[in-house]
Structure formats: structure tokens, C-alpha cells
């Protein structure tokens, strides 16, 4: 049987003010775009008419400009979880207009199941193919799984966006599995990266489907700043660290699988890994996203299995995968985010976690989400899911930001996302700090000596001298002087601890 067909505008009109709407996709990829572009027009129309129009937005991770950027600009978002990398969204959050819960991506499906976001009025799900059965709808996803198995089950009503930009062969990449309920949940039966434990499709009750919107829209893929000499140097330092840790026997010669987080720095690290891939054994990837660099390394035979919840690739790369699906389906698996980001699987495989920090402190705490304490950058995404559970937890960052006026190594982070207890290795373009098996004093030595920029080493040393005696020595009056000086004078190099000791 054929389900009801709707235009995107007709579908959008059904979503009323105050609705909670959950979306397929993870990163810009797999996000349904047709209906939401019409929702933007409705928000503008309603606001012009003096009527309220705001919706709650629930996704697997960050999304795209049409969804959270444009709706933020239209003041049409009342609530948002769990992650965003969008500049317009960030601006409106920092203006205190939007209630944003920055949460672990691996917890999102669970939080939805347990009702922490209230009822999910709508789910909008992008598909590459659809089996329109009378008793069961089989929805074949596109480039991401994220939280779809859960929202498809708990949403009250569902709109399907059948995006013909995506080939139906995308189904061969998917492995759909939803975790059971607490407290008697079965272990996740994934014992090997790339093993299939579920189905190629998401099951949907046809009674919930109000209509299918046909469309043909490319992904709103993000582009990254091109790697520069500093970010590439960070990548080279990571590769050198792998090689020396393999020599020391901490990493086995077969290597552990790797995870790599979002952003320009993470992208540059992947490029460096690609450049030096011949020095490393064939890799496996267990991550939340795979980018173009991973697809390239699969083709070059340097990556065997890549399992993630999203293929966050450019449109050209996605079409290339579809055109060569018989090859890629043997190497790529897309799974739900509660599998890719589960403590259980990350631990089982011994994943090496690699994410980007905005700043680290001298004892190894890390901040990846807030600038100078108050202003949101993006959020934690899945970084803490991996860092807490990885076999080796790496954070990297450039040692300075904003033309050297900010040090990424500070006495005390102004906001903490991953703690000293979860981080093993810090890498900057200056070098590598190995924190494993070291207490606070030796950690501070490693971080200042190997990771801080030479312009800031004297200030950090001076801070150590001013610190009170103790296990983790700090001087609370001077602790946040770096940030305070930046806010007042626009340059952390102008720190004068004397001002804080008066």
C-alpha cells in the first residue's frame, strides 16, 4: 500500500507552536531538510502576525543551518538538546534566548525513552528507501542512525522525508539495534567492529505516519578550515605518540581502534594519520562520525573496518560510496549512537579516544565547551563518552588561540568538561604530555614543559610558585587570572598576579 503523500509545506503546517520535534540525522548528515525549511517560513509568518511560534528540537547530535541556524535566527527554538556546532544557534544561546541542554550524545536515546524531554510530538525521519507495509513500515535510513530507532518508536506522529538524493543502496551500510530497558538490559552483542547485530531498517508503526514528503536535497555538509602547519604538527605528534607507545608495548602491534572528534583540529589529525598511515598497522575506526579522510583511507587499504553512527562526508564522497557500495559495505557500518557511544563497546574494543579541547589546565582538566567561563562554543558532543571509556584518552589543542593572545594551557580551566581522572595524553603543536601514572605535580611538569607555548611558560611557572601547598596546588585568588586578564585587557600575556594578590 502507498502511504499518504504530502508537500513539505503541508507537513510543516501540522507542526504547531510548542511542539517537541525529534529529527533523524547526526551532524548535518541525515537531517531531514524539506519540512524544516517550510517551518522557518511559518515561524517568520507567525511572528510577523504577532503570534508565538517556537518548537523544541531533539536530535542525535549537531544538525544543519536549515534546522538550528535558521530557526535560531527566527527565534523559533524553545528548547534544544544535545549538541550544536552552529554559529547562529550559539549566538542566540549566549543571548540567553534558548534553553539548551548540552549532554552526552551516548545518553540521548536513553533520556528520550525515560521521558526527560517530555512527550515527543513529532519525529521527522529522512529515508533513502521505504517499504510501505500495512502493518509494518520498513524505513531505510540515509547517512546516519543517531537516535532514530528510539524516536521512531516513541514519537506520537511521524513524517517521513524520502530524500531521493540518497541511493536506496545506503541500506547496506546500516545495522539498526535499540538497547533494551533498565534494569534487565542484555549486553550489547557487538563483539567485533563491523559485525552486524540488527536489521538494515528501522521499524515504524504505519498508524503513526501522517505522510511521506518526497524531496531531493543534498546534505548541508560542513566545510572545515584547511589544516595549517600547527594543526598538522599536532597530527604528527599524535602519530609519533602512537609509534612510541607501540614500541613501549602500551599499544599492541595490531593497534587499538581509533575515534576522532569534530572540528578543524580533529580533521587535520586525521589527515596526518593518513599521511603517515604506512608507518602504522591497518587501522579500525570505532567512532561517532566518519569523515572523507576515513573513506579515503578505506580505499587505500589503510582502514579495514569503520563503524560509526554517521557518515559525515561531503556530497561527492557520499555519492562515491553509493557508486561503489559492493566494496564499501564490507568496510563501513552505521549503527545507532547508543551503540557507537556506549561505555560497553568503547571499553570492549579498547578505543583510542581523540578529541579537541579549547583549553587544558596544568593538572589535566579540559574545557571544550565554554569561552572565558560564560560563553558557549559548541558543547561536549560525544567527547566525554569516549574520553571516559577509551583505552587511551587523548585531547589535543593548539597551544595558543587568537594570535597568541590566549593560552590554551591555563592554571585552572574556567569550565571543566573532562576531568584529570579521564585524560591520559595532551597534545599540542609543542609536544606531548603523558599523564599516565603521574600525580598532580608531575602532571603539571609534563603539561607546562611539553604542551605550553614558550610565551606562557614563565607565567605558568610563576603561578606554581604562588600556589598554596597541597596535593593539587592552586592559588585561588590567581587561579582564573588568565581569563580575567583576557576579558579586561584582551591578552593573557599581560597577566600580573600581583593585581590578584592585593
Catalytic site residues? 288
Quickly tell me which residue has 515504524 as its cell.
204
How many residues touch ligand COA under the rule CB under 6 A: the total is: 26
CB 490, min distance to ligand COA, A: 12
Q: What residues between 68 and 87 interact with ligand COA by CB under 6 A?
A: 85
Does 305 interact with ligand COA (rule: CB under 6 A)? no
Q: Which is nearer to ligand COA, 290 or 408 (CB)?
A: 408
Under DSSP, the state recorded for 495 is -
Task: Give the x-and-dash track for 319-358 against ligand COA (CB under 6 A).
Answer: ------------------------------------xx-x
DSSP 35-69: HHHHHHHHHHHHHHTT----EEEE-SS---IIIII
Task: Give the x-and-dash track for 258-297 against ligand COA (CB under 6 A).
Answer: ---xxxxxx---------------------x---------
Does 235 interact with ligand COA (rule: CB under 6 A)? no
Does 366 interact with ligand COA (rule: CB under 6 A)? no
Within 284-341, residue ranges assigned H as helices are: 292-299, 315-323, 325-328, 337-340
Q: Which is nearer to ligand COA, 225 or 279 (CB)?
A: 225
CB 60, min distance to ligand COA, A: 10
> In the set 106, 194, 382, 431, which binds ligand COA (CB under 6 A)?
382
Residues 6 or more apart whose CB falls under 8 angstroms from that of 119 comprise 20, 156
Neighbouring CB atoms inside 10 A of 301's CB total 10
Q: Which is nearer to ligand COA, 137 or 262 (CB)?
A: 262
Which residues on neighbouring strands pair with residue 127, listed in sequence order? 162
Q: Cα separation of 264 and 258, whole Å?
A: 17
Q: In this structure, which long-range contacts are made by residues 300-306, counting pairs with CB atoms below 8 Å and at least 24 apart in sequence?
A: 300/274, 302/274, 302/277, 302/278, 303/331, 304/194, 304/331, 305/193, 305/194, 305/331, 305/333, 306/193, 306/194, 306/331, 306/332, 306/333
Of 34-42, 174-182, 256-264, 454-462, the segment contacting ligand COA by CB under 6 A is 256-264
Q: Which is nearer to ligand COA, 24 or 369 (CB)?
A: 369
289-290 and 209-215 strand pairing: unpaired
Q: Which residues of 226-237 are buried (b: 16+ CB within 10 A; e: fewer)?
A: ebeebbbbbbbb
> In the set 359, 422, 424, 446, which binds ligand COA (CB under 6 A)?
359
Q: Which is nearer to ligand COA, 160 or 358 (CB)?
A: 358
137-140 and 202-204 strand pairing: antiparallel
Cα 279 versus chain centre, distance: 28
Does 5 interact with ligand COA (rule: CB under 6 A)? no
Does 66 interact with ligand COA (rule: CB under 6 A)? no
CB 402, min distance to ligand COA, A: 5
Of 40-48, 69-77, 243-251, 401-409, the segment contacting ligand COA by CB under 6 A is 401-409
Number of helical (H) and strand (E) elements in the chain, helices listed first: 18, 26
- Which residues here bind ligand COA, judged by CB under 6 A? 85, 225, 261-266, 288, 355-356, 358-359, 368, 371, 377-378, 380-383, 398, 401-402, 406, 408
Amino acid at each position: 500500500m502507498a502511504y499518504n503523500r504530502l508537500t513539505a509545506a503541508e507537513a510543516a503546517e501540522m507542526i504547531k507552536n510548542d511542539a517537541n520535534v525529534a529529527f533523524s540525522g547526526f551532524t548535518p548528515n541525515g537531517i531531514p531538510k524539506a519540512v524544516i525549511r517550510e517551518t522557518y517560513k511559518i515561524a517568520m509568518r507567525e511572528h510577523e502576525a504577532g503570534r508565538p511560534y517556537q518548537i523544541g528540537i531533539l536530535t542525535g547530535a549537531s544538525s544543519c543551518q536549515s534546522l538550528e541556524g535558521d530557526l535560531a535566527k527566527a527565534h523559533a527554538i524553545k528548547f534544544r538538546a544535545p549538541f550544536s556546532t552552529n554559529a547562529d544557534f550559539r549566538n542566540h544561546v549566549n543571548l540567553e534566548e534558548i534553553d539548551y541542554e548540552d549532554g552526552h550524545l551516548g545518553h540521548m536515546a536513553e533520556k528520550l525513552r525515560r521521558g526527560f524531554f517530555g512527550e515527543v510530538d513529532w519525529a521527522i525521519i529522512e529515508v533513502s528507501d521505504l517499504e510501505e507495509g500495512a502493518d509494518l513500515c520498513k524505513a531505510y535510513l540515509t547517512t546516519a542512525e543517531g537516535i532514530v530507532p528510539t524516536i521512531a518508536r516513541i514519537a506520537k506522529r511521524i513524517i517521513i522525508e524520502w530524500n531521493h538524493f540518497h541511493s536506496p543502496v545506503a541500506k547496506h551500510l546500516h545495522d539498526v539495534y535499540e538497547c533494551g530497558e533498565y534494569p534487565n538490559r542484555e549486553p550489547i552483542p557487538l563483539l567485533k567492529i563491523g559485525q552486524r547485530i540488527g536489521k538494515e531498517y528501522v521499524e515504524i508503526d504505519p498508524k503513526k505516519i501522517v505522510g511521506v514528503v518526497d524531496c531531493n536535497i543534498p546534505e548541508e555538509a560542513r566545510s572545515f578550515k584547511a589544516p595549517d602547519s600547527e594543526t598538522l604538527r599536532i597530527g604528527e605528534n599524535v602519530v609519533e605518540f602512537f609509534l612510541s607507545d607501540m614500541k613501549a608495548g602500551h599499544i599492541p602491534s595490531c593497534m587499538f581502534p581509533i575515534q576522532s572528534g569534530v572540528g578543524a583540529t580533529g580533521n587535520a589529525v586525521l589527515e596526518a594519520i593518513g599521511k603517515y598511515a604506512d608507518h602504522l598497522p591497518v587501522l579500525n575506526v570505532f567512532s561517532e562520525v566518519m569523515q572523507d579522510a576515513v573513506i579515503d583511507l578505506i580505499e587505500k587499504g589503510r582502514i579495514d573496518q569503520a563503524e560509526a553512527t554517521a557518515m559525515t562526508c561531503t556530497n561527492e564522497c557520499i555519492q562515491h560510496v553509493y557508486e561503489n557500495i559492493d566494496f564499501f559495505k564490507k568496510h563501513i557500518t552505521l549503527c545507532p549512537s547508543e551503540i557507537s557511544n556506549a561505555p560497553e563497546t568503547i571499553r570492549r574494543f579498547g578505543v583510542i579516544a581523540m578529541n579537541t579541547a579549547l583549553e587544558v589546565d596544568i593538572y589535566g582538566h579540559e574545557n571544550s565547551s565554554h569561552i572565558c567561563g560564560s560563553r558557549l562554543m559548541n558543547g561536549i558532543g560525544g567527547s566525554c563518552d569516549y574520553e571516559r571509556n577509551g583505552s587511551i584518552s587523548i585531547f589535543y589543542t593548539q597551544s595558543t588561540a587568537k594570535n597568541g593572545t590566549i593560552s590554551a594551557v591555563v592554571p585552572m580551566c574556567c569550565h571543566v568538561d573532562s576531568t584529570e581522572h579521564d585524560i591520559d595524553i595532551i597534545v599540542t603543536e609543542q609536544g606531548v604530555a603523558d599523564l599516565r601514572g603521574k600525580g598532580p605535580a608531575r602532571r603539571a611538569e609534563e603539561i607546562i614543559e611539553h604542551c605550553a607555548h614558550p610565551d606562557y611558560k614563565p607565567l605558568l611557572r610563576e603561578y606554581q610558585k604562588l600556589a598554596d601547598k597541597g596535593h593539587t596546588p592552586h592559588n585561588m585568588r590567581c587561579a582564573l587570572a588568565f581569563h580575567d586578564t583576557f576579558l579586561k585587557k584582551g591578552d593573557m600575556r599581560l597577566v600580573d598576579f600581583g593585581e590578584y594578590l592585593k
